[in-house]
Structure 1
């Protein structure tokens, strides 16, 4: 009944505004997924990638480890009781460095880069390539609202990922299981030799 009294043109304008705001608002980050962001100049906050972020640059998908385009910052997520790792890495030719912020407070900088090093566009490879600027931060439980600002470098893309911290008990159980299998295998070989 209420909508019947509002002119159709105003209804359409309101619906359009709601859709626009929902598209421009930042979305949550899922654990274990690599996300791609874009940046233009030092001191100018990084953006997501088009079409997910209309203000972002056009990005290409990774030809290595699968990744997704980020939407508009800030990028939000929650960390559970065990904590989490937060990884940020440059991509392609090493020429950029980033400062990472949570709710406007600096969490630190990515490592210095070595000019001339290239990791192409695979975030997993880039995060572990010496000479590529990257950081792996340990986060405590809580809510995070992340922005990234390049301190060096122009026009490029980078990647970020939030991942669970492995449970110490799980690592110990896996190691114990591997040791038991190795021991059982060596006993079987000894029995075969005796026969």
Structure 2
């Protein structure tokens, strides 16, 4: 009997091997964008799919940014609070069954250790870089990209995980006072759990978008 591939475990092994410190740096504070790219994308792309979907995501986006501004820790409970608005549901618990994405080409397994592993990964996104320190935490773009991919591949919810990943990325950037003028390249390009080059490329894409 062939054991099904677990792309989450592949990602967990790979994320420690990605040379995140090589991510393109950005100068902070970043310039103020001409428009709020997240809001614009939701009001166009998501609204075209469903006005209700767009309204729910805008509500969650505002909450994520408010949490970033107030210093609310990035935890699964925080993501779950946003996700209740995203999906318009009373509860958004951690999934209990294997999840699939990309037409079934990626499978994310289960395990009693997953909630704690996700908490640890989310906590890593909060560390701020210290200029000149040899053991400095990762650049903002690397932390935001990694957190985005963590949520994508943990796939913690039964639905709406791409939106949850987007909100997570937005939160990490907002903690540094950064907003993107355009987010389509982030939201529309598929990322793969077994692609370390693609993971670092996402961090570099964020650097480009911050500098646009």
TM-score greater than 0.5 by the shorter chain: no
The structure with more strand, counted as a fraction of residues? 1
| Higher normalized helix content (fraction of residues) | 2
Bigger RCO of structures 1 and 2 (CA < 8 A, at least 6 apart): 2
Normalising by structure 2, report the TM-score: 0.21
Relative to the length of structure 1, the TM-score reads: 0.22
